[in-house]
């Protein structure tokens, strides 16, 4: 091989490995494909197959790797990667065979890598890919066994991270936390979140779930839809980061409600999480309603279906509802006039029946929702009133200051002074119309006088 080709290969190799580290799969595929045209080498095929596999192109990844497998390549990386590809292609028995071959080759070469012509440090780093392949097959106990056998070979914190993941997935959260604590200060600071969540799982506040054997890469897409968020949170590592932030003291209330609603909408685990919050005496009441909304979002709870929540230390049945909101229509004006008269007369039950009945046949306006919330408050039905408060707060989150203003007013009526102040501070007074500014001043004076 001439000098120019050697130099070109070296340059492309450095470029391709950088692209792999950055997750630039398409660019990496192009780079390693160009290298393969200059030299057919196992390491090049490994990297090309890795890029294809990481981009979800399974058949292409297999095609890049297969020539080396056919020749019986003496490389644990190739067989571990082959195991993951075969598993994803639905060939489970082959995947197991490839994994066992990777383990056997590693242990054979691990006795004295230099004797076989391999750099010891490079060879021992294969522990990571092999255990990742075992985790891909869901064999968590094998990883714990390999951890005990191979701990003397470890060169990176990721090996310790994987051992903790295996213990967590085997439902030993405190043991996992103890293992992670060994490397959290070695540029793996995110493991503090893993440790915190492991303790929440042990306490029963957070249901257990499966962690992947790769570190999290939390990159929330811009203008993300609810489907995008659910896909992001389906990765156990990302879920850990959100849960840790959620349970961190001082986390903003509105953000907490959004996080809980998203988490509670994650299928069976989300339902278990929501019911855990319902029965907890450690979380705010508003978290429970946010969890209920998450169940409504995923269809695990039907509007009006009762759920049992622990409220002020007492188990109570709560019925979650979803109300569509519309501008005040002419057809509704007579209903609202009647509701106002009944409210002023103290007939709160009739107000509730009237407005809920109207909501069954047409959308209820914001004004109607305000009156309904006041009726709930008059009847002492704070949980139903606070569900409407959350709706108005949601409008505030979307940029409508009037939503925060109404939420503050309703919280003041509920006697929730601190929460009312919290909403009021979110209102941009200068953006309000004169009538709303008068309401703002009234609420502020009332709160200051209490």
pTM, 2 dp: 0.71
Q: 85-99, 266-280, 431-445: lowest mean pLDDT where?
A: 431-445
Q: Tally the C-alpha atoms within 13 A of residue 58's C-alpha that lie toward its C-beta.
A: 10
pLDDT at 398: 62
pLDDT at 325: 45
pLDDT at 334: 81
Instruction: Locate 143 and state its tokens.
Output: 């990883």
Architecture of domain 3-153: Alpha Horseshoe (1.25)
Is the pLDDT confidence value at 361 over 70? no
Question: Percentage of the chain with pLDDT > 70?
Answer: 92
Q: What's the pLDDT tens digit per position in 218-260? A: 665 555 566 777 788 888 999 999 999 999 988 887 788 889 9
Q: 79-93, 188-202, 240-254, 310-324: lowest mean pLDDT where?
A: 310-324
pLDDT at 324: 45
With b meaning 16 or more CB within 10 Å and e meaning fewer, what string describes 159-194? bbbbbbbbbbbeebbebbbebbeebbeeebebbebb
Report how far residue 421's alpha carbon sits from residue 438's, in angstroms, rounded to the nearest whole number: 16
Contact by Cβ (8 Å): 39, 1: yes
pLDDT at 174: 97
Contact by Cβ (8 Å): 208, 173: yes
CATH fold match for the domains 3-153 and 330-449 = yes
Question: Percentage of the chain with pLDDT > 90?
Answer: 47
Contact by Cβ (8 Å): 355, 335: yes
Q: What's the pLDDT tens digit per position in 188-213? A: 888 999 999 999 999 999 999 999 99
Which of 33-47, 115-129, 346-360 has maximum average pLDDT? 33-47
pLDDT at 208: 96
What are 213-219's contacts with CB under 8 Å, separation 24+?
Answer: 213/131, 213/132, 213/135, 213/136, 213/143, 213/162, 213/165, 213/166, 214/132, 215/158, 215/161, 215/188, 215/190, 216/190, 216/240, 216/241, 217/23, 218/242
Is the pLDDT confidence value at 76 over 60? yes
User: Domain spanning 330-449: which CATH class is it, in words?
Assistant: mainly alpha
Specify the residue for token string 């004076």: 445
Domain ranges of the chain: 3-153, 249-319, 330-449
Q: What's the pLDDT tens digit per position in 365-416? A: 778 888 999 999 999 998 888 888 888 887 777 667 888 899 999 999 999 9
Is the pLDDT confidence value at 327 over 60? no
* pLDDT band per the 50, 70, 90 thresholds, residue 64: very high
Report how far residue 102's alpha carbon sits from residue 114's, in angstroms, rounded to the nearest whole number: 18
Sequence-ordered list of residues with C-beta below 8 angstroms from that of 363, at least 6 positions apart, any chain: 324, 325, 326, 329
Helix spans in 41-91 (H): 42-54, 58-70, 76-88
pLDDT at 326: 47
Q: Which of 94, 38, 35 is nearest to 69 (CA)?
A: 94
Sequence-ordered list of residues with C-beta below 8 angstroms from that of 281, at least 6 positions apart, any chain: 310, 313
Instruction: Locate 347 and state its tokens.
Output: 């007939």
């Amino acid at each position: 091989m001439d000098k120019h080709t050697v130099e070109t290969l070296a340059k492309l190799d450095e470029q391709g490995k950088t692209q792999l580290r950055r997750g630039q799969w398409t660019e990496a595929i192009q780079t390693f494909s160009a290298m393969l045209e200059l030299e057919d080498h196992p390491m090049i095929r490994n990297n090309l197959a890795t890029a294809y596999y990481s981009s979800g192109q399974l058949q292409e990844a297999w095609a890049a790797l297969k020539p080396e497998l056919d020749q019986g390549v003496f490389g644990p990386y190739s067989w571990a990667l082959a195991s993951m590809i075969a598993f994803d292609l639905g060939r489970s028995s082959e995947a197991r065979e490839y994994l066992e071959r990777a383990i056997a080759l590693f242990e054979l070469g691990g006795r004295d890598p230099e004797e076989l012509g391999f750099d010891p440090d490079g060879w021992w780093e294969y522990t990571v890919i092999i255990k990742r392949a075992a985790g891909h097959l869901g064999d968590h106990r094998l990883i714990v066994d390999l951890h005990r056998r191979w701990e003397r070979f470890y060169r990176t914190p990721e090996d310790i991270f994987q051992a903790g993941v295996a213990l967590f997935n085997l439902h030993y959260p405190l043991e996992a936390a103890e293992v992670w604590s060994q490397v959290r200060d070695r540029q793996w600071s995110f493991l503090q979140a893993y440790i915190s969540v492991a303790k929440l799982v042990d306490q029963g506040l957070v249901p257990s779930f499966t962690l992947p054997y790769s570190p999290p890469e939390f990159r929330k897409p811009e203008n993300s839809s609810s489907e995008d968020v659910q896909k992001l949170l389906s990765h156990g590592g990302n879920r850990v980061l959100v849960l840790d932030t959620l349970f961190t003291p001082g986390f903003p209330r509105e953000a907490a409600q959004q996080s809980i609603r998203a988490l509670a909408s994650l299928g069976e685990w989300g339902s278990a999480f929501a019911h855990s919050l319902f029965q907890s005496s450690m979380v705010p009441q508003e978290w429970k309603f946010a969890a209920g909304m998450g169940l409504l979002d995923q269809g695990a709870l039907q509007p009006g279906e009762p759920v049992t929540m622990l409220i002020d230390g007492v188990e109570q049945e709560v019925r979650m509802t979803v109300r569509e909101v519309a501008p005040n229509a002419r057809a509704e004006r007579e209903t609202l006039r009647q509701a106002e008269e009944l409210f002023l007369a103290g007939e709160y039950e009739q107000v509730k029946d009237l407005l809920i009945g109207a909501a069954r046949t047409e959308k209820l306006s914001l004004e109607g929702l305000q009156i309904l919330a006041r009726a709930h408050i008059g009847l002492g039905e704070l949980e139903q009133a606070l569900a409407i408060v959350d709706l108005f707060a949601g409008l505030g989150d979307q940029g409508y200051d009037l939503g925060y203003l109404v939420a503050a007013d309703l919280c003041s009526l509920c006697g929730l002074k601190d929460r009312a102040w919290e909403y009021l501070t979110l209102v941009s007074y200068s953006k309000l119309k004169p009538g709303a500014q008068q309401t703002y001043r009234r609420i502020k004076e009332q709160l200051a006088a209490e």
